[in-house]
Amino acid sequence: MLKDRPKDTQETPEAERVLDAVRQIVSEGRLPSDGRLPTERNLAAELGAGRASVRRALDRLEAEGLIWRRQGKGTFAGQPPDPTEELAAQIASDVDPLSAMEARLCIEPALADLCARRATGEDVARLRKLAERTHDADDSDSAELWDGALHRAIARIAGNRLMLTAFTLIDEVRMGEDWQEKRHRARTPQTRAFYDAQHQKIIDAIDARDGTSAASAMREHLETLFDNLRKSIESRT
């Protein structure tokens, strides 16, 4: 810390070399579809370094959240899988889009309420950024992705582990099913503008730390979604 050279970028000569090499492998994504990295032993051999150095580099990347590791399994790029996914996959088969919306309509207003009561200024800034991304998205697909991220962020900020798990469950089922096309049709330029305004309203309420308003704004938003989804289903049965 007291040294005058920039510790973060240099560390020690070998450490930096290995770290950069591994970071490049991860970021460039030249790896199997499951995101698995070479084993530590292979990595060490390929880079002509010792296993300890490789492990130090991986420790760093893990701390940064770029990779995750599991003893006996391997090292993988990205975030560790959530056990909720499995449960979601199991029950996904007997859940229809309407009951999924029903569930969202139940839990998300409550999450917005809690979110409003617990959000920090930083949290609100993050939400605004996500809403902006949703608004700026070029195609309907990426808009949906950012929209999902926004709702998830609200759920996380709410700070209730149980409700977050329940939300994740609903979210996983919703994403994993074959309703994609249905929701796709329900998303037109007009509705998108509408959704953006509703997002604004929700975030404004959260920013004002007004839980009740946040909940009702979220409920209104979801009901709009719900209606459009229902119309979309009815129109082409």
Partner DNA sequence: GATGAAACCAAAGCACGATTGGTTTCATCC
Partner DNA sequence: GGATGAAACCAATCGTGCTTTGGTTTCATC
84 touches, from DNA, a copy of itself, none (C-beta below 5 to 8 Å by class) = a copy of itself
- Asked if 222 and 112 touch (Cβ cutoff 8 Å), the reply is no
206 touches, from a copy of itself, DNA, none (C-beta below 5 to 8 Å by class) = none
7 in contact with DNA (CB under 7 A)? no
70 in contact with a copy of itself (CB under 8 A)? no
Selected binder of DNA within 10, 24, 51, 91 (CB under 7 A): 51
DSSP state of 94: T
DSSP state of 188: -
From residue 52 to residue 81, the character string flagging contacts with DNA as x (rule: CB under 7 A) and all else as - is xx-xx-x----------xxxxxxx------
Q: How far is the CB of 135 from DNA (least distance, A)?
A: 40
What's the rounded Cα separation, in Å, for the pair 70 and 143?
33
Nearer CB in complex with a copy of itself: 165/191: 165
Selected binder of a copy of itself within 3, 5, 73, 161 (CB under 8 A): 161
Which residue(s) pair with 77 in the sheet? Answer: 67
Helix (H) or strand (E) holding 77: strand 74-77
Which residue(s) pair with 80 in the sheet? Answer: none
Cβ partners under 8 Å of residue 95, min gap 6: 173, 177
Q: What angle do CA 129, 133, 138 make, to 5 degrees?
A: 170
Residue 83 CB burial class (10 angstroms; 0-12, 13-18, ≥19) = exposed
Footprint on residues 172-231 left by a copy of itself (CB under 8 A): 173
Which residue(s) pair with 70 in the sheet? Answer: 74
Selected binder of a copy of itself within 160, 191, 200, 216 (CB under 8 A): 160
Q: Looking at 14-22, 67-75, 162-170, 194-202, which segment touches a copy of itself (CB under 8 A)?
A: 162-170
207 in contact with DNA (CB under 7 A)? no
15 in contact with DNA (CB under 7 A)? yes
DSSP state of 39: P
Residues of this chain that bind DNA (CB under 7 A): 11-15, 37, 39-42, 44, 48-53, 55-56, 58, 69-75
